[in-house]
Structure 1
């Protein structure tokens, strides 16, 4: 007699490793059980289909999880916990080594933090003298089209955290990763303000669900 459907991904993981599992099987492991009339594998497939695959799941806000039929509070809590663990694992990595030793990790961390936001959020990554992450702090929240950012507040937070450098980041809910003229002007304004207290601006990332675009790589910082 074969294993029940909800046990097969677990058996496969234990015998072959997590990399052998499909996206659906991994999500099924997290969900553990299905709902009446729908097995766990089908429920996992529905979750991925409704949220836009693994990338959509990683960036899904709690509201989006709540709209998937069959995801009750317990299952939503488990998925949210896994996503938060992913964020914290990346943050720990960035705290232990210079930020740009792992440029892919920087982008992944920012996408996990900002990619799924429905409104613009402006964050600052405060770095120590060795360019290791002290912490990421959300400083301003705006509308879908603009965010009011006050250089004085950014300077005060940099001094509070004894930062030697910062990386700026904000999301574009529209999905357009190209910086606007306003983004360019803001970057230069913050560079000028922070230079007065010897804090360097290393980069400014524009974050969407699909990517985190570096303004430094574009020659705009």
Structure 2
């Protein structure tokens, strides 16, 4: 049996379907197969992509896997690994460009996508801050605190000093859960309340706190755990 995608009917090939029906019509495996370009003697590119997604538990973990982990699959070597890392970095830069140049960052989905690219590959907890001006334009993004796999010590004073130095009007804070679900702990809830209160004292508004996990993202604002943003502010 020939496993080459070139032997498939044209309408079933991922690249041709993308051109005819759009990228949204393709599954995760089909999109990944386009970047893999070829499979192995045993599997087509789509089949290899499905195996990778099943083994690592999703598309994101595939892109976060090391060369050693991916090389366990026949047909994956340094060249394909480089292609995947290039795609991942292009996606991060695409979102970073939008964050840097988009006038209005009140769109939660855009901010969350960017934060996922920045924090998802971290193997330990990282606490980061996105500073915005009065028009909700990006001023800076910085990873401020680094911890262990399940804990990160935060200095609210240091966070506020950084925000004031950036002349921030609004803040989005974020941290990752490398080994857990994107659900806030009681400590996360308490810390968020403390940060929100401290920000008010220096006339800075906490817009959101986002938790990033492997397959999920949790927004405090979307769950009404932070006061909703007044879009006519500034």
* TM-score of the pair, normalised by structure 2: 0.77
> Would the alpha carbon gap of residues 178 and 34 (structure 1) be closer, same or farther in structure 2, given more than 3 Å must change?
closer
Picking from 89, 98, 123, the partner of 1:93 is: 98
Partner of 1:83: 88
> Would the alpha carbon gap of residues 40 and 158 (structure 1) be closer, same or farther in structure 2, given more than 3 Å must change?
same
Q: For residues 188-217 of structure 1, what are the alpha-carbon distances to aligned partners after superposition, in whole Å with 9 as ceiling and x for unaligned?
A: 333344444432212212222233222233
Partner of 2:206: 201
Quick one: distance in 1 between partners of 2:6 and 2:128? 40
> Would the alpha carbon gap of residues 11 and 163 (structure 1) be closer, same or farther in structure 2, given more than 3 Å must change?
same
How many residue pairs match? The answer is 216
Cα RMSD over matched residues? 2.9
> Would the alpha carbon gap of residues 22 and 174 (structure 1) be closer, same or farther in structure 2, given more than 3 Å must change?
closer
Is the contact between residue 207 and residue 226 of structure 2 (CA under 8 Å) also seen in structure 1? no
Q: Which has the higher contact order (CA 8 A, sep 6+)?
A: 1
Is the contact between residue 6 and residue 33 of structure 1 (CA under 8 Å) also seen in structure 2? no
The list of structure 1 runs, each at least 4 consecutive aligned residues, that deviate by more than 4 angstroms after superposition, is none
* TM-score of the pair, normalised by structure 1: 0.80
> Would the alpha carbon gap of residues 16 and 182 (structure 1) be closer, same or farther in structure 2, given more than 3 Å must change?
closer
Indicate the SS of the match to 2:190. helix
> Would the alpha carbon gap of residues 138 and 12 (structure 1) be closer, same or farther in structure 2, given more than 3 Å must change?
same
Residue 14 (1) aligns with residue 19 (2): yes
Displacement, 1:180? 2.2
The worse-fitting range, judged by mean Cα deviation, of 187-196 and 66-75 is 187-196
